[in-house]
Structure 1
Amino acid sequence: MIDKLEMFIALARERHFGRAAEACGVTQPTLSAAIKQLEEQLGVLLVWRGSRFGGLTPEGARVLERARVIVADTRALREEMRTAKRGLSGDLRLAAVPTALAAITALTGPLTLRHPNLRITVFSRNSAAIVQMLDDLQVDAGITYLENEPLGRVATVPLYAEHYNLVMRADHPLAGREAVPWAEAASEPLCLLTPDMQNRRIVDRHMAEAGAVARARLESNSLLALIAHVQASGWVTILPLRSAQPFLGTGSLVAVPLTEPVAEHVVGLIAPHREPMTPVLDALMEAARKAAFQ
C-alpha cells in the first residue's frame, strides 16, 4: 500500500504518467497498474483518465492529503528504527533559495561533523518550489524567506537577516562609495535574478519604494551567472552580503550597501509541522538553532 501511495503522490506532483513512473524508478505500466489497484482497494476513482493525465478527482484530492501524511509517518518510523539500530544515518534532502546557498554550510558542516553517516543533498529552488517540494515529500526541509510570502503550516527557525548590497568590479566608479541609494542603483546596468525568485521581488519592491524601476540588462536564476557577467562586462548586481561574500575574497569585486531604504529580510529553516519530528530533522533543527544569527 505504501508503495502505491508514493506512486500516487508522484503522479499528482508530475501530472504525467511517464514522468511519475521515471521519478519512482518503475515502468509506466507498473505505475498505471499500481494506481488502478489503489483505486480498487479504496473503492473510488482517483484520477481522471483520457488520452493523458486529466487531473485528480475530488476523491483523489482528499486521498492525496491523507497519502502525504501516511507516507511521511511511515518514512519517519523507518528512520526512527534505523537510528535506534545504527545511530543517525541516511539521507537528508534540503532545498534552498539561491541567495542562501552560501550560508547553508553553517548547518551542513556541524551536522555532518557530528553525524558522519548522514548524507546530504542540496537543491537550489525558488521559494514557491521549496514549499511545494515539502508538501510533496521531495525534500525534508528548506531554507527560504520567512516574512514575505505564505509558507503554509511549517515549523521555522530564523537563521539570519539579509542586507542588500550593490556588487560591482573594484574599478567601477561607485566602488569607493560608503553607500548607494536604491534609486541611483536603478540607473546602472543591472544583472538580476529572474522574477520567479523571491529575492528579485524584494529588489523590485525596494526599488519601487525609492521611486525607481529595476530594469535588468540580464536575468538568471544562477548567482554564478550574475557574478560572471559582473566580472566580464562591468555591470552590477544586487545581492545580500552573505551571498556575495564568497566572491569578494580576491579583491576584484566589492560590495557597497544599498540605502534609502535600508532593508533587511529574515531567512530561515522551514520543516513540516509534524510531531514527533524524525531524528534527522530533530538534529537539523538543533543545528539551525545553534547557527542562528551567528
Structure 2
Amino acid sequence: MIDKLEMFIALAREQHFGRAAEACRVTQPSLSAAIKQLEEQLGVVLVHRGSRFQGLTPEGQRVLDWARQIVGDVRTMKEEMRTARQGLSGNLRLAVIPTALTLVSDLTADFARAHPNVRLTIWSRTSGEILSMLDNLQIDAGLTYLDNEPLGRVTTVPIHAERYVLMLRRDHPLASRAQVKWAELAELPLCLLTPDMQNRRIINTHLSTAGVETQPQIEASSLIVLISHVMSGGWASILPQKSTEIFLQNESPDGGLVAVPLVSPEASHRIGLIAPHREPHAPVLTALLDSAMSLSERLGQR
C-alpha cells in the first residue's frame, strides 16, 4: 500500500496523471491502476475523474493527509534503521528562500563537515513553495520566514533576524548617508524581488506604512539580477543586510556598492529552519535541527 500512497501523493501534487506517473517513474496506466486499487481497498472514491484530473474528493483530501503522515513515518523508520546499520548517511533535501541563500552555508557547511556521509541538495524556492514541498514530502526541511505569514503545523528553529538596507552605487547621492528612512524612497527608481516572494510582500508593507507607493521598473526572482542593475547605475534596491555581505566583502574601500541601513522603522523579521511536526524525526533531520540550534545560539537569536 505504501507505493500506492506515494503515487496518490504525487497525483495530488502534480494534479495530472501523466506528470504524476513521470514523477513516480511508472507508466500512466500503472499509476491509474494503483489509484483505482487504493480506492477499492479503502472503499471510497479519491479522485474526481473526467477527461483529465479534476481534483480530489473530500474523502480523497482526508486520505491525502493520512498518506503524507504514513509515508513520512515509513521513510523515517527506514532511515532510522539504515542509520543503525551504517551510521548517519543518505540525502538531505533543503529548500531556501532567495534572501537566505547567503545564510544557508553557515548552517550546511558545518553540518556537512560533521556528517561527511550525508549528501545535501539545496534548492532556492519561495516561502509558499517551501511549505508545499514540505507537505508533499519533496524536501526534509526549509529555511524561511517564521513570523510574517502562517506556517501551519511545523517544527521551527529561529536562526537569524533579517534587517534591511538600501543597496546603492557608491556615486549615488544617498550613498554617504549613515541611514535612510523608508519614507525617503518615494522618488527612487527601485528594482525589487518579484511579488510572489515573501520578502517583497514584507517590503511592500513597510513602504506602504511609510506612505510610499512605488512601482518598480524592474522585478526579478534573483538577487544577482537586482545587484547587477544597481551596479549598472540608475537603480536602487532594498535587500536584507545579510544577503548583501557576499557582494560587499570583496569590495575595495572605493568599490562600487554601498549598503545603507533603512530606519523608521528599523524592521526585523525572523528566519529559521522549519521541518515536519513529526516525532521522532529521521536521524539526519534531527542532526540538522541540532546544527540549526547551535547556529542560532552562536548568532544570539534564541
Shorter-chain TM-score: what band? over 0.9
Instruction: Output the CA distance in 1 between the equivalents of 2:72 and 2:265.
Output: 43
Instruction: Output the CA distance in 2 between the equivalents of 1:233 and 1:51.
Output: 53
The unaligned stretches of length 5 or more in structure 2 are none
Tell me what 2:78 maps to.
78
Instruction: Output the CA distance in 1 between the equivalents of 2:130 and 2:226.
Output: 22
Tell me what 1:15 maps to.
15
> Alignment RMSD, CA only?
1.1
Give the total of aligned pairs: 294
Query: What amino acid sits opposite 1:266 in the alignment?
Result: R
TM-score, normalising length from structure 2? 0.95
* Aligned equivalent of 1:260, options 255, 264, 277: 264
Task: Kindly state the Cα deviation for residue 87 of structure 1 after the two structures are TM-superposed.
Answer: 0.8
The SS at the match of 1:216 is coil
The SS at the match of 1:148 is coil
* 1:180-231 residue CA offsets vs partner (Å, 9 max, x unmatched): 1112123211010111111111111111111112321111111111111111
**Does 1:221 find its partner at 2:232?**
no
Instruction: Output the CA distance in 1 between the equivalents of 2:93 and 2:24.
Output: 16
Query: What amino acid sits opposite 1:114 in the alignment?
Result: A
Contact 1:158 1:269 in 2 (8 A): yes
Task: Kindly state the Cα deviation for residue 79 of structure 1 after the two structures are TM-superposed.
Answer: 0.4
Tell me what 1:113 maps to.
113
* 1:9-39 residue CA offsets vs partner (Å, 9 max, x unmatched): 0100111111111211222122112111211
The SS at the match of 2:204 is helix
Instruction: Output the CA distance in 2 between the equivalents of 1:162 and 1:78.
Output: 37
**Matches for 1:1-294 after TM superposition, within 5 Å:** 1-248=1-248, 249-250=250-251, 251-292=255-296, 294=299
The SS at the match of 2:26 is coil
The unaligned stretches of length 5 or more in structure 1 are none
Contact 1:168 1:234 in 2 (8 A): no
The SS at the match of 2:91 is strand
TM-score, normalising length from structure 1? 0.97
Contact 2:98 2:124 in 1 (8 A): yes
The SS at the match of 1:164 is strand
Contact 1:94 1:142 in 2 (8 A): yes
Task: Kindly state the Cα deviation for residue 168 of structure 1 after the two structures are TM-superposed.
Answer: 1.4
Over the matched positions of the two proteins, sequence identity in percent amounts to 63
Q: Which moved more, 1:58-67 or 1:35-44?
A: 35-44
